[in-house]
Homo-oligomer: A and B are copies of this chain.
Amino acid sequence: MDPEAFLDLANQVIKLKMYPYFDIAHSLLCALAVREDLGAGAQTFSRKHPLSCWLSTMLVIFAGGMVVNGLLGEPMLAPLKNTPQLVIGTVTWYLVFYTPFDVGYKVAKFLPVKVAASAMKEIYRAKKVYDGVSHAAKLYPNAYVIMIIVGTLKGNGAGFTKLIERLIRGAWTPTAMETMQPSFYTKASLVASIIFVLDKKTDLISAPHALVYFGIVIFFVYFKVRYFSRFLVN
């Protein structure tokens, strides 16, 4: 691949529109995660406590934005004003939990669907980390630590709201704090945030901005696909 075409591709990735396909992939995986977290009794739970089920799914979907808004003194509910995203979230939640014969869940769990959605979600994650770092950099141009914290939380907000999400569903697991055993997503988002900050604020990284961004995207997607390849080999 010649370098110019590569840079072109990178520039296209940076301008990729997230709505609606990437939002759908993200919502789908969030709803799946809630369902897996509920375990065997997920369906019974969703019938008995629909409000709790819906609220906790929305919290997972909008976790990054809500947490960051809360920490930056902006309205925590504001992400919900994005009506199309809320509709997508509610529809996917419905499909994963309430379709007849559990068709929605089975389709979502089907490996090719899940791999595609996961790859898309990683592209989405890279964008959110980047947006978080940029947003914090606008508010506090010299506070590198705030930029890194905001970027990380945007990248894996749901990890940090897991306790509240489960509390909404009546379960309390204080030892499951993300800070104790940071997941791969948190570590990856942290690394990506640091790279974005270095790229934005220092001259240490000489590569064009689009390439840095593209590199992060590839890094996220690569590890996600490699993770799934384990299931394919066996």
B-contacting residues of A (Cβ < 8 Å)?
A: 49, 51-52, 55-56, 69-78, 80-81, 83, 86, 139-140, 142-146, 149-150, 163, 167-172, 174-175, 177, 179-180, 182
Contact B170 A81 (CB under 8 A): no
Contact B83 A72 (CB under 8 A): no
**CA distance in complex: A90, B20 (Å):** 42
**CA distance in complex: A143, B84 (Å):** 11
A76 with B77, Cβ < 8 A, contacts A168-B179, A170-B175 known = no
Contact A180 B175 (CB under 8 A): no
Query: Copy number of this protein in the oligomer?
Result: 3
Tell me which residues across on chain B come within 8 A of A139, comparing CB atoms.
Answer: 75
Q: How far is the CB of A88 from chain B (nearest CB, A)?
A: 13
Contact A177 B182 (CB under 8 A): no
Contact B73 A69 (CB under 8 A): yes
Contact A77 B71 (CB under 8 A): yes
Tell me which residues across on chain B come within 8 A of A146, comparing CB atoms.
Answer: 77, 80-81
**CA distance in complex: A188, B99 (Å):** 28
**CA distance in complex: A229, B166 (Å):** 38
Contact A49 B143 (CB under 8 A): no
User: Known contacts A49-B180, A80-B146, A172-B172; can you find 18 more A-B pairs with CB under 8 A?
Assistant: A49-B179, A52-B177, A70-B76, A71-B77, A72-B77, A73-B73, A78-B140, A80-B143, A80-B145, A81-B140, A81-B142, A81-B143, A81-B146, A167-B177, A169-B180, A170-B174, A170-B175, A172-B174
Tell me which residues across on chain B come within 8 A of A168, comparing CB atoms.
Answer: 177, 179
List 12 contacting pairs A-B, 8 Å CB cutoff, sorted by A: A49-B180, A72-B75, A73-B73, A73-B75, A73-B78, A77-B150, A80-B143, A163-B167, A168-B177, A169-B177, A170-B174, A172-B175
Ranked 8 nearest A-B pairs via Cβ: A172-B174, A73-B75, A81-B143, A52-B179, A170-B180, A81-B140, A71-B77, A72-B75
**CA distance in complex: A166, B142 (Å):** 29
Contact A73 B71 (CB under 8 A): no
Tell me which residues across on chain B come within 8 A of A55, comparing CB atoms.
Answer: 179
